[in-house]
Amino acid sequence: QAANIGVVGLAVMGSNLARNLASREGNTVAVFNRTYAKTDELVTEHPEAGFVPTSSYEEFAAALQKPRTAIIMVKAGAGTDAVIDELLRVFEPGDIIVDGGNALFTDTIRREKAVRETGVNFVGMGVSGGEEGALLGPSLMPGGPDESWATLGPILKSIAAVAEGEPCVTHVGHDGAGHFVKMVHNGIEYADMQLIAEAYDLIRRGTGKSPAEIADVFAEWNRGELESYLIEITAEVLRQVDAATGEPLVDVIVDQAGAKGTGGWTVQTAIDLGVPVSGIAEAVFARSLSSHPEQREVSGELPGWHDADAVPPVRDADAFIENVRLALFASKIVAYSQGFDEIRAGAAHYGWDIDLGAVSKIWRGGCIIRAQFLNRIADAYDAEPGLPVLLTAPYFVEALGRAQAAWRRTVVYAATAGIPAPAFSSSLAYYDGLRAERLPAALIQGQRDFFGAHTYKRIDKPGTFHTLWSGDRTEVEAEDTH
């Protein structure tokens, strides 16, 4: 029996996606893995899936009905190129290769271009939701050409998560658009996780509550406007007790956060595009700081403002926790706003027609940052598709206004107590930067003009100017050098 879709790479994400595909009416799934043992194991363990096992690329191609469609689920990087080369050897013009790994979008742009020359279609697709999402319904972010979407769309819709009756998949845009959006998703994921971690740290050190008690706080928050998968799992992690020591698990885990790179890419790309994603950057750097034990060790004796360990205790724990909740919500709005700003800038730069409202909708289910809150983002773009700053939409303006006093108090407390809250404080600084009528950037322009004749513009007339700093300090008209 010919398979209508194939999966290459049967590690946990690939296996689960293959099982998800096989469980949908009308699908027959061909599977291939570099080592056949993995293929054999999957097929034996899941006879119900009716997989078509294959042991070579030739067999894999022969098992697929034309035009062939294959989803690659291997670790992003050189391995992906190797698999693409093998598939191109056995595929024909009109066939479709989908890369479902966490590829860097510029690699996807390069691959799409190279593959297109052979007549085969290449689709870079972001897949979010981890192992469980892959099996039960991920959020899918395919890029690639329109023709492939016509074939792929119905299959992807059938396996994606469903949020409020809508499948969490849309054709994001051409070539690298899907992986670009997945990259920013991960950047936002980093920021959201860091913000939640800061909230936990502040509550723990500020009130002395135990992880289990803080788990109850998060569970409570999950019933309100912060409702999200990440808040939900935070409660579960905090509640977990280590079997070996009887201590809260969070206290026996080494406090050094890993990263596979996608958060860093989000920041690097934002720098190239000139987009201030300060919340995401703080989250990436907070992980870096945590992961330098040699630096932390020599810094352990640095003086704090108060005596050692003297974090000023909060007087009213409930009021404090409510302040932290509001600070978290406000900072989260900033992080998402910055992320969407990056997608908008990326779309403009790379010529993608990305519907930001549709992106927020496909993140409502299946993915790591899934949350009710994404509906508000969709509403904002529905009302004003060209919105230049997401957080200026009425719903967010109201929320930020409501949270503001608590947000400021929380940042003040963190600074006074010496508890690091980089994402909370940088989000607030970003907010105030946006609000400011005048920024000290004017002074920076003056400094740049002083030492490098970099010129400046005036508020009162058009043109570009330079002051003769080392001469008589009169002003002259100049060429615009930025």
Among 80, 108, 121, 128, binds ligand 6PG (CB under 6 A): 128
Q: Which residues of 411-426 are buried (b: 16+ CB within 10 A; e: fewer)?
A: bebbeebbbebbbbbb
| Lookup: tokens for 93 | 């013009």
Residue 439 known to bind ligand: no
Asked if 235 touches ligand 6PG (CB under 6 A), the answer is no
Out of 66, 112, 117, 182, the active site residue is 182
- Would you state the structure tokens that stand for residue 241, as one six-digit string? 């007790």
Nearer to ligand 6PG, 15 or 186 (CB): 186
Q: Is 12 annotated as a binding residue?
A: yes
Task: Answer yes or no: is 75 a known binding residue.
Answer: yes
Window of 49-57, 128-136, 319-327, 456-464 that interacts with ligand 6PG by CB under 6 A = 128-136
User: Would the annotation count 229 as a binding residue?
Assistant: no
102 binds ligand 6PG (CB under 6 A): yes
| Cβ 102 to ligand 6PG shortest distance, Å | 5
- Residue 216 φ/ψ region, left for φ over 0, alpha for ψ in the -120 to 50 degree band, beta for the rest: alpha
At a CB cut-off of 8 Å and minimum separation 6, what does 8 contact? Answer: 14, 31, 32, 33, 60, 70, 71, 72, 73, 74, 83, 87
Task: Give the x-and-dash track for 359-378 against ligand 6PG (CB under 6 A).
Answer: --------xx----------
Residue 266 interacts with ligand 6PG (CB under 6 A)?
A: no
Strands 29-32 and 52-53: parallel
Residue 228 lies near ligand 6PG (rule: CB under 6 A): no
Asked whether position 358 contacts ligand 6PG by CB under 6 A, the answer is: no
Is residue 237 a contact point for ligand 6PG (CB under 6 A)? no
86, 112, 189, 198: the active-site residue: 189
How open is the CA angle 361-362-368, to the nearest 5 degrees? 110
Q: Of the ranges 127-135, 238-246, 374-382, 384-392, which one interacts with ligand 6PG (CB under 6 A)?
A: 127-135
The reply on whether position 259 binds ligand 6PG by CB under 6 A is: yes
Alpha-carbon distances of 465 from 42, 121, 443, 448, 456, rounded to whole Å? 69, 51, 14, 12, 5
160-189 binders of ligand 6PG (CB under 6 A): 186, 189
CB-nearer residue toward ligand 6PG: 130 or 420: 130
Residues binding ligand 6PG: number (CB under 6 A): 13
Q: Which of 262, 269, 426, 467 binds ligand 6PG (CB under 6 A)?
A: 262
Judged by CB under 6 A, the stretch of 67-75, 124-132, 300-308, 336-344 that binds ligand 6PG is 124-132
**Least distance to ligand 6PG, CB of residue 130, Å:** 4
Known catalytic residue: 38? no
189 is catalytic: yes
Binding site for ligand 6PG (CB under 6 A): 102, 128-130, 186, 189, 258-260, 262-263, 367-368
